[in-house]
């Protein structure tokens, strides 16, 4: 369960409006629509009330992103959200051409020379039918939805360092774009039922078509719908008819995952039935007592409970959010937990697989997560303790990899401690068995800890977990949240360009060197967890030997010094006594 940051989730950071804390854009939108003579604004007496209701459904950051010169876009968003209420039309989407970006390729990198904006509106459509917001001039991107995650706004000085990465990993579409003199940029707006991991699903959908996300603006309504605006490149022409067709095909391939599941929820039981009899791990809910809620995630809640007299942790999926994807995750998690037994992996006790009351019961970890220990409790780790934590993680991950399991969401929030501060790997919601002949390309995990090959939807293996471990190690050394000045999506877009966390000045040289090898852009260059464990254990032994040697030296000095003083004092006393006797 993702308790800190949604898996792949992000939202647009609100722009600062210095001196305008009481500014409300909805008044300007209403007045502009009246001035331009928009039909609804002029003829509908309830228009102002409907406009207010639209803004009230969305977070304040939405109002900050609206450009008054394109006030009619607010009505487009309103129409998309209305269409999304029909389950047969979800997801609703709208596509339009925005601009051409002229480019030049030199020996260093691609450079943007000029931007050409379309003088008119392009075609736009939705899954459920056409949306007609009216004719409109094409907007200036810099003035309307200002970029929350535009790569050039991140000031990343990483392009020279990532040249090898680009040669190895960037998609063919990227190189095709370099060969052309201009790059068409389009805007795609989605609206559907809001749900966990929606942003990850949408980004995977766009990547499947060959599109590259330049900007993303993600909003959730108060009544459970989403409004997601993407600015993309990668489509070779301005016209959107073929892009719409490609989008329709991509959506149809993932049909069934856009709405809340309406079926009888028997998929979990069928999937787990193939794994064998459940008599040894199926939990009788009557014997399970739920206590206080420990945390809440994107799709469920975590409780402390008691089962047969033992303190347990109970992960309960919310029945109202169950769908095919969540049920599949649940079945996969149970299947994996049943097969893992290691001192550095959280112990599985059982599960309830009778829908809609799905839950997983594991041992209770009173020490909490490493995330809370480091960030919320503000604990600065001694090097020896840091190494012990890291070794625990590596041993747990080494065992999982030997069992052909890839975790895919390794981060401090999913690393739990027992009463003796032993760290155990937890949360296998997105973990998978590594198939012998299969290839994994799905964007899964949490952006701040995600490997570049996962972000780019390229084939990946267990070395993606090694990359995530490098960010965990950085957290333990610095006691900071990775990329804390960026949104999750900004961090992901930076990582794919070669961005890595800044190395701490006070870190142990061997740890920093290991960290950098673990976050290598080329997966094969990263060490295995077996190699990492050996290096960390050697470093811990060196530290302990140095500590022992220093302790012996200090103890020796503390004993020798008083003895020598005592000897001199006795000699002096003896001399005085002899002198007195002589007289």
Instruction: Please tell me the distance from the alpha carbon of residue 427 to that of residue 268, in angstroms, as a whole number.
Output: 18
Q: Which residues contact 312 (CB under 8 A, 6 or more apart)?
A: 288, 304, 305, 306, 349, 361, 362, 363, 364
DSSP state of 282: B
**Residue 112 carries which DSSP code?**
E
What is the rounded distance in angstroms from the CA atom of residue 51 to the CA atom of residue 27?
Answer: 10
What is the C-alpha separation between 97 and 79, in angstroms, rounded?
19
Separation CA 85–CA 226 (nearest Å): 11
Residue 480: helix, strand or coil by DSSP? coil
- Under 8 Å CB-to-CB from 374, ≥6 apart: which residues? 381, 412, 475, 476, 479
Tokens 């254990």: give the residue: 537
Report which of 227, 212, 210, 164 is spatially closest to residue 11, judged by C-alpha positions: 227
Q: Judge residue 146's burial from the number of C-beta atoms within 10 Å of its C-beta, 0-12 exposed, 13-18 middle, 19 or more buried.
A: middle
Q: Are 297 and 278 in contact (CB under 8 A)?
A: no
H or E element, residue 219: strand 212-220
Q: How far apart are CA 465 and CA 30, in angstroms?
A: 50
The Cα–Cα gap between 306 and 329 comes to 25
Question: Would you call 372 helix, strand, or coil by DSSP?
Answer: helix
By C-alpha distance, which of 453, 369, 365 is closest to 411? 369
Placement of tokens 């990993």 in the chain: 169
Q: Are 297 and 369 in contact (CB under 8 A)?
A: no
Q: Is the distance from CB of 348 to CB of 385 less than 8 angstroms? A: no
Scanning the structure block, which residue is given the tokens 């701490």? 504
Question: What is the residue-wise DSSP string for 403-462?
Answer: TTEE-S--SGGGEEE-TT--EEE---SS-EE--SS--B----S-GGG--HHHHTT--B-T
Helix/strand/coil (H/E/C) assignment for every residue in 117-155:
ECCCCCCCCECCECCCCCCCCCCCCCCCCCCCCCHHHHC
Do residues 89 and 129 lie in contact, with contact meaning Cβ atoms separated by under 8 Å?
yes
Tokens at 285, concatenated: 């809910």
**Are the C-beta atoms of residues 482 and 503 closer than 8 Å to each other?**
no
Catalytic machinery residues: 409
* Dist. CA 111–CA 410, nearest whole Å: 36
Burial per residue of 377-406, b for 16 or more beta-carbon CB atoms within 10 angstroms, e otherwise:
eeeebeeeebbbbbbbbbbbbbbbbeeebb
């Amino acid at each position: 369960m993702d308790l800190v940051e949604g898996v792949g989730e992000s939202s647009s950071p609100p722009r600062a409006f210095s001196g305008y804390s009481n500014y409300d854009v909805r008044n300007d939108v209403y007045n502009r629509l009246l001035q331009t003579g928009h039909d609804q604004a002029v003829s509908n007496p309830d228009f102002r009330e409907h406009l207010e209701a639209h803004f009230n459904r969305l977070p304040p950051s939405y109002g900050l992103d609206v450009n008054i010169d394109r006030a009619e876009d607010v009505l487009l968003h309103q129409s998309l959200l209305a269409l999304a209420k029909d389950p047969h039309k979800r997801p609703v989407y709208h596509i339009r051409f925005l601009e051409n970006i002229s480019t030049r390729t030199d020996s260093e990198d691609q450079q943007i020379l000029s931007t050409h904006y379309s003088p008119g509106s392009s075609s736009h459509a939705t899954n459920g039918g056409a949306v007609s917001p009216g004719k409109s001039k094409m907007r200036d991107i810099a003035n309307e939805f200002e970029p929350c995650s535009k790569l050039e706004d991140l000031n990343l000085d990483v392009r020279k360092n990532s040249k090898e990465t680009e040669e190895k990993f960037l998609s063919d579409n990227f190189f095709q774009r370099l060969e052309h003199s201009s790059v068409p940029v389009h805007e795609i707006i989605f609206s559907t039922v809001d749900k966990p991991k929606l942003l990850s699903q949408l980004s995977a959908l766009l990547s499947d078509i060959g599109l590259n996300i330049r900007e993303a603006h993600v909003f959730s309504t108060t009544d459970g719908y989403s409004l997601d605006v993407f600015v993309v490149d990668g489509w070779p022409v301005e016209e959107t008819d073929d892009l719409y067709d490609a989008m329709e095909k991509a959506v149809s391939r993932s049909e069934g995952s856009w709405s809340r599941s309406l079926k009888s929820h028997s998929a979990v039981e069928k999937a787990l039935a193939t794994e064998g009899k459940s008599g040894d791990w199926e939990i009788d809910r009557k014997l399970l007592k739920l206590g206080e809620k420990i945390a809440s995630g994107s799709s469920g809640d975590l409780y402390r409970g008691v089962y047969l007299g033992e303190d347990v942790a109970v992960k309960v999926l919310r029945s109202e959010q169950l769908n095919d994807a969540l049920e599949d995750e649940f079945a996969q998690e149970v299947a994996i937990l049943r097969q893992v037994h290691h001192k550095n992996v959280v112990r599985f006790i059982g599960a309830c697989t009778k829908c809609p009351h799905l839950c997983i019961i594991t041992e209770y970890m009173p020490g909490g997560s490493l995330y809370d220990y480091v960030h919320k409790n503000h604990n600065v780790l001694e090097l020896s303790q840091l190494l012990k934590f890291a070794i625990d993680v590596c041993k747990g991950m080494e065992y999982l990899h030997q069992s052909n399991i890839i975790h895919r969401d390794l981060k401090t929030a999913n690393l739990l401690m027992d009463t003796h501060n032993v760290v155990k790997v937890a949360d296998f919601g997105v973990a998978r068995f590594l198939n012998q002949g299969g290839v994994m390309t799905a964007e899964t995990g949490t952006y701040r800890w995600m490997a570049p090959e996962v972000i780019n939807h390229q084939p990946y293996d267990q070395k993606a977990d090694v990359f995530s471990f490098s960010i965990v190690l950085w957290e333990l050394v610095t006691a900071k949240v990775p990329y804390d000045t960026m949104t999750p999506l900004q961090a992901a877009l930076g990582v794919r360009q070669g961005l890595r966390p800044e190395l701490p000045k006070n870190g142990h040289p061997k740890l920093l060197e290991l960290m950098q090898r673990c976050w290598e852009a080329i997966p094969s260059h990263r060490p295995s967890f077996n190699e990492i464990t050996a290096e960390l254990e050697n470093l811990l032994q060196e530290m302990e030997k140095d500590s022992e040697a220093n302790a012996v030296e200090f103890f020796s000095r503390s004993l020798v010094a008083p003895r020598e003083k005592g000897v001199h004092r006795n000699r002096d006393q003896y001399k005085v006594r002899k002198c007195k006797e002589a007289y």
